[in-house]
């Protein structure tokens, strides 16, 4: 039976799915590629996101199918008369549900909950795909910066090698030159390793984004006010993961109501028109009646279905609580790890600066014979290690913020806002 407002609801489009669809259609800039542009390009070719959007469209169709239970049901049967193919008999039945104890409305509620869950699944898929692109983007940046650090290290070693060669005049001086050449060989090995790692990451970037990783721009550290303790619980509850689990609870509640309604008779208004063979003669007949109907009882299955539905509801409720706990634990862990990395980053920054100052001092002292080459080489090695760790920590801090944003469903919204602002 049709309800007021059903026509309006039928014309609505899924908000999250529509927003993601519009987002995927945005053009990308041909200049230096920012993180936002890389995510846009990657999501435009992401098959998992397309599959999630197709599932959301299918769920919207399921709502329309469920709502058809409010409308009349028509059945038609026709065929030739027995022993007289020239005559036709038919049976036409039209049935309109008048009252069903909320059975059809429960099916509609179930379908709508499934639709909202699929809409949330689209957001989850968008966040997962965006995070994957972000991680590869940051990995490429880190690999490029590590490669540059090794190249600068080799240049400094070459300066030391030139100085050692100029000083070489005896066996002891020759040993300093050989030690410098050994460090150069190690640096060349590190350079080859970094080049191989960068090429592998560039291949992954090409696969995910569809273009080469050229002129990438390092993003700023993401600010997430939602992670503040007063707002964290609200942000977790509003996340797509929690919304999807919550819709599963609402779908299970609708199944419980439907199972209970199925145990009661349904009142229908039925009309029938038929032409049939009675005693060898064709008779026309038509009827209009009110009829009570119930599902077929098969053992105790009719009585067990509500129990099974309640058990599914209980499982869905526990899954919701488990998801809430897991998301909050993950977000809190990521936030705490980011704060810990902040302190380490500051310490490594000071260490790298001190290594630069010490290396310069040692080089000056080496030129007047107050230092050995091995001491300068050790300082340069420590400087390179500090620089590499600093690069990894700085990129990892950014990565943790994006992971936290994906957990609370803020990642795809962030790139949408950035796109609209641009």
In this predicted model, what pLDDT tens digit does every residue of 128-142 receive, in sequence order?
999 999 999 999 999
- Distance, in Å, from the CA atom of 46 to the CA atom of 24, rounded to the nearest integer, reads 10
Reference 393, options 221, 228, 225, 224; nearest CA is 221
* Residue with more model confidence, 233 or 5: 233
- Residue 273 has a CB neighbour count (10 Å cut-off) of 15
Mean pLDDT taken over the chain? 85
What are the CA-CA distances from residue 110 to residues 40, 119, 161, 173, 226 (Å)?
34, 14, 75, 84, 31
How far from 51 is each of 39, 56, 129, 186, 253, CA to CA, in Å? 18, 9, 12, 48, 27
Cα 117 from chain centre: 14
List the domains of the chain with CATH numbers: 33-421 (1.20.1600.10)
Percent of the chain with pLDDT over 90: 55
- The C-alpha atoms of residue 349 and residue 355 are separated, in whole angstroms, by 10
Q: What is the rounded distance in angstroms from the CA atom of residue 234 to the CA atom of residue 331?
A: 13
Neighbours of 185 (CB within 10 A): 11
Lowest-confidence segment of 193-202, 226-235, 317-326 by average pLDDT: 226-235
d(CA 130, CA 112): 27
Query: Using 50, 70 and 90 to split pLDDT, how confident is the model at 348?
Result: confident
Q: Is the dihedral of CA 237, 242, 244, 250 positive or negative?
A: negative
Is 220 a residue whose pLDDT tops 80? yes
Cβ contact 92:270 at 8 Å: no
CB 327 within 8 A of CB 236: yes
* Whole-number Å distance between alpha carbons of 256 and 305: 8
Distances (CA, A) of 222 to 227, 294, 341, 414: 12, 59, 14, 10
Higher pLDDT, 183 or 207: 207
Q: Which two tokens stand for residue 303?
A: 């009585």
Greater pLDDT, 295 or 93: 93
- Backbone CA torsion sign across 228, 234, 236, 239: negative
Give, in degrees to the nearest 5, the angle at Cα 8 between 4 and 12. Answer: 145
Give residue-wise pLDDT tens across range 28-78.
Answer: 444 588 999 999 999 999 999 999 999 999 999 999 999 999 999 999 998
Q: How many CB atoms lie within 10 A of CB 213?
A: 22
Distance CA 341, CA 390 (A): 10
With beta carbons less than 8 A apart as the criterion, state whether 40 and 79 touch. no
Q: Is the pLDDT confidence value at 312 over 90?
A: yes
| Contact partners, residue 116, CB within 8 Å, separation at least 6 | 243, 247, 250
Is a pLDDT exceeding 80 seen at residue 204? Answer: yes
| CA distance linking residue 219 with residue 226, whole number of Å | 19
Residue 171 has pLDDT above 70, yes or no: no
pLDDT of residue 29: 44
Residues sharing a CB contact under 8 Å with residue 166, sequence separation 6 or more, in sequence order:
none
Q: How confident is the model at residue 422 (pLDDT cuts 50, 70, 90)?
A: very low
Task: Report the alpha-carbon distance of residue 145 to residue 157 in Å, rounded.
Answer: 18
**Model confidence pLDDT, tens digit, residues 241-294:** 999 999 999 999 999 999 999 889 999 999 999 988 776 678 888 899 999 888
**Residue from 45, 34, 46, 119 nearest 415 by CA:** 34
How far lies 17's CA from each of 112, 124, 125, in Å?
A: 15, 11, 11
- The pTM score is 0.82
The mean pLDDT value for 298-303 works out to 74
Look-up of token digits 């469209």: 57
> DSSP per residue over 327-362, as a string?
HHHHHHHHHHHHHHHHHHHHHHHHHHHHHHHHHHHH
The yes-or-no verdict on residue 80 having pLDDT over 60 is yes
* Residue 335 Cα distances to 188, 326, 348, angstroms: 38, 14, 20
């Amino acid at each position: 039976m049709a309800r007021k407002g059903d026509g309006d609801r039928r014309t609505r489009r899924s908000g999250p799915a529509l927003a993601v669809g519009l987002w995927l259609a945005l053009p990308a800039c041909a200049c230096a590629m920012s993180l936002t542009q890389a995510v846009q390009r990657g999501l435009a070719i992401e098959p998992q996101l397309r599959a999630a959007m197709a599932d959301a469209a299918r769920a919207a169709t399921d709502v329309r199918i469920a709502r058809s239970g409010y409308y009349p049901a028509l059945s038609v049967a026709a065929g030739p008369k027995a022993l007289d193919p020239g005559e036709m008999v038919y049976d036409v039945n039209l049935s309109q549900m008048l009252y069903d104890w909320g059975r059809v409305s429960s099916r509609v509620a179930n379908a709508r909950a499934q639709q909202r869950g699929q809409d949330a699944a689209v957001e989850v898929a968008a966040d997962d795909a965006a995070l994957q692109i972000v991680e590869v983007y940051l990995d490429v940046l880190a690999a490029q910066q590590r490669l540059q650090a090794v190249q600068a290290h080799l240049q400094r070693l070459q300066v030391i090698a030139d100085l050692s060669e100029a000083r070489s005049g005896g066996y002891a001086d020759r040993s300093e030159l050989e030690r410098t050449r050994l460090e150069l060989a190690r640096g060349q090995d590190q350079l080859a390793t970094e080049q191989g790692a960068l090429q592998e990451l560039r291949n992954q970037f090409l696969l995910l984004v569809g273009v080469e990783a050229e002129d990438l721009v390092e993003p700023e550290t993401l600010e997430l006010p939602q992670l503040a303790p007063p707002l964290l619980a609200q942000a977790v509850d509003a996340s797509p993961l929690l919304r999807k689990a919550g819709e599963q609870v609402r779908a299970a509640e609708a199944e419980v109501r439907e199972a209970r309604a199925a145990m009661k008779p349904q009142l229908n208004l039925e009309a029938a028109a038929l032409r049939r063979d009675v005693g060898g003669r064709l008779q026309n007949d038509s009827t209009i009646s009110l009829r009570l109907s119930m599902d077929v009882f098969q053992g105790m299955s009719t009585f067990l279905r509500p129990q099974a539905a309640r058990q599914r509801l209980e499982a869905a409720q526990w899954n919701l609580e488990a998801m809430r706990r897991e998301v909050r634990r993950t977000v809190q862990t990521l936030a705490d790890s980011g704060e810990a990395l902040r302190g380490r980053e500051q310490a490594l920054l000071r260490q790298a600066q001190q290594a630069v100052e010490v290396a310069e001092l040692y080089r000056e002292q080496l030129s007047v014979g107050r230092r050995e080459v091995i001491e300068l080489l050790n300082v340069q090695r420590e400087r390179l290690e500090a620089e590499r760790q600093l690069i990894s920590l700085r990129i990892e801090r950014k990565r943790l913020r994006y992971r936290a944003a994906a957990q609370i469903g803020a990642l795809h919204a962030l790139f949408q806002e950035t796109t609209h602002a641009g």
